[in-house]
Amino acid sequence: MKKYDYDLFVIGAGSGGVRAARIASGFGARVAIVEDRYLGGTCVNVGCVPKKLLFYASHFSEDFENAKGFGWTVDSPLFYWQSLIKNKNKEIGRLNDVYRKLLDNAGVELINGRGTLVDANTVAVDSKHYSAERILIATGGWPSIPDIPGKEHVISSNEVFFLETLPEKIIIVGGGYIAVEFAGILNGLGVDTTLLYRGPLFLRGFDQDVREFMAEEMRKKGIQLKFETNIDYIEKIDKQLRATLNDKSTLLAGQIMYATGRKPNTEELGIESLGITLDKNTAIVVNHQYQTNIPSIYALGDVTNRVNLTPVALAEGMSLAKFLFNNEDPLVEYENIPTCVFSQPNIGTVGLTEETAKEKYKQINVYKSSFTPMKHTLSGDDEKTFMKLIVDKETDRVVGVHMVGPEAGEIIQGISIAMKAGARKTDFDKTIGIHPTTAEEFVTMRDPVN
């Protein structure tokens, strides 16, 4: 007779939780997963997927304008926000069904409701208790908005996907990739957009050249950037919101969106009562096998606040399932993880920034290139593309690659494979470029700038 109802009970049906549940079940484990909001987590519902769809929509305004240089005439194109959101919701609903079928086909029991920890081997959902040999917490993160007067008037990156109408003006507060992405999206959809950030320059943690180049490109597109600026309080005046800034000046807007970071979703799970260790940011502390200080309880993904990217959560879910139920211990490699900011233009990056490389290596060579893409020689658009290679001089290894420009993510994905394989600068030099493409610039940069 089985001691527990399940071998694995997963709290949270986002990317990491679903992957762990499916793979574990495939190894023969009895698995259940509980979710109280939506299948697919942040990425599918209020993150990567709908954001990319809105990004595509926002770029058509530039495409229509750029088409003139190629002989096309597009008379007075009209945009309907409601149509975009309706179509977006339909696609997200389809993906929710896909996740449901994936779980069902894998033999995972899906339980609808709020899961809370009772003890080291028990989860309560409403009034019913379920026992499990192991419990996995994969509840992700949630937008964090500072507690300022007038906070009740603002929206987060969750609510922006469901606005009934677009405002004429919006203030976006934040300096991370979400703030930068939505500034580009909303500006592209015709909204008068102002981005405020409390620091001297946004995208902290990215390469300094990339940050400076991106700020210049955004300003060229008409986005108003205000650095070293924050909101003290917000007031609602008729149908407008008035933000009083830290320099006592004011801004009026139809909407104010905060993208000031996300916090691990660890509240109201029973974590504190069990004594699960949290760090100073309320993230769950785990070892290299995603195990908490309570041996039967594990956690992965954004709730651990390490590398908060969907593909990382997927890799962690796969790794954990193999470790627990297939006698494998495939460690996830957290170095050289590529990432893309779907800003306008895109940012793609993998490896070290120049600043970090200087700290790690005795000497580095830096290669840079900034140019007008071939498309814009006829479009008339003054958008530039920027590329950068960072090389450890002693070994000739490429340790950092950065790009700002169209399809940067698509290009950097391929380069990240080469970096994982240990590519040297001489390997880049010996590679024949595809002409004429933007990407060929990465294999034609010959002279370091330092």
Residues carrying an active site annotation: 435
Q: CA quadruple 325, 328, 333, 339: dihedral positive or negative?
A: negative
Choose among 46, 227, 258, 265: nearest CA to 151: 258
Question: Scanning the structure block, which residue is given the tokens 């495409």?
Answer: 63
Q: Are 159 and 258 a contacting pair, CB within 8 Å? A: no
How far is the first Cα of the chain from the last one, in angstroms, to the nearest whole number? 70
Q: Are 4 and 121 a contacting pair, CB within 8 Å? A: yes
Asked if residue 436 has a cis previous peptide bond (ω within 30° of 0), the answer is yes
Please give the sequence-ordered ranges of beta strands (E in DSSP) within 292-404, or none if there are none. 297-299, 339-341, 347-351, 364-371, 385-392, 398-404
Choose among 302, 291, 320: nearest CA to 265: 302
Helix ranges (DSSP H) in 221-339:
271-274, 310-325
SS3 at position 377: helix
Q: How far apart are CA 306 and CA 235, in angstroms?
A: 36
114 Cβ contact list (under 8 Å, min separation 6): 34, 36, 125, 126, 268
Choose among 249, 235, 236, 263: nearest CA to 196: 249
CA atoms within 13 A on the CB side of 59: 14
Which run of H or E residues covers position 9?
Answer: strand 6-11
Asked if residue 77 has a cis previous peptide bond (ω within 30° of 0), the answer is no
